Amino acid sequence: MDLKKKMTAGRLAGLSAATALLLHPLVAGQALAADGSTTPMRCRSVGTARDADVASVLQPLGVHLQNPDTPVGLSCTPTRNGGPDVNFCAGKDPVHGIAVIGRRPMGHTCP
């Protein structure tokens, strides 16, 4: 492997480890804030930890959820609550751009 490829691989490995550390508090069962509030999000994809597309993002990061039916949003950005683009409610400390753990909205509204 040439030097440029080794450097890129090293950066990606470091990013994955850092991302896993950011996600760890969510995996430990603190998916929602103490008051149950969530952040309205627009996600590219919404599924559960057992879905292949979600697993393909979580597994390389070393993230394993205790409940495989936990809702997960991928490639999410915050949006206005109640807007038609809300398709996910992110829990405590969402990690924007990667994966967020939370719940599905009621209609287009997050609590």
Q: What is the pLDDT of residues 17-72, one digit of tens each?
A: 444 434 443 443 445 555 678 899 999 999 999 999 999 988 887 888 899 999 99
Report phi then psi at 100, rounded to 5: -130, 145
pLDDT over threshold 80, residue 89? yes
Nearest to 42 by CA among 1, 69, 77, 81: 77
pLDDT over threshold 90, residue 1? no
Beta bridge partners of 77: 42
Q: Is 76 exposed, middle or buried (0-12, 13-18, 19+ CB in 10 A)?
A: buried
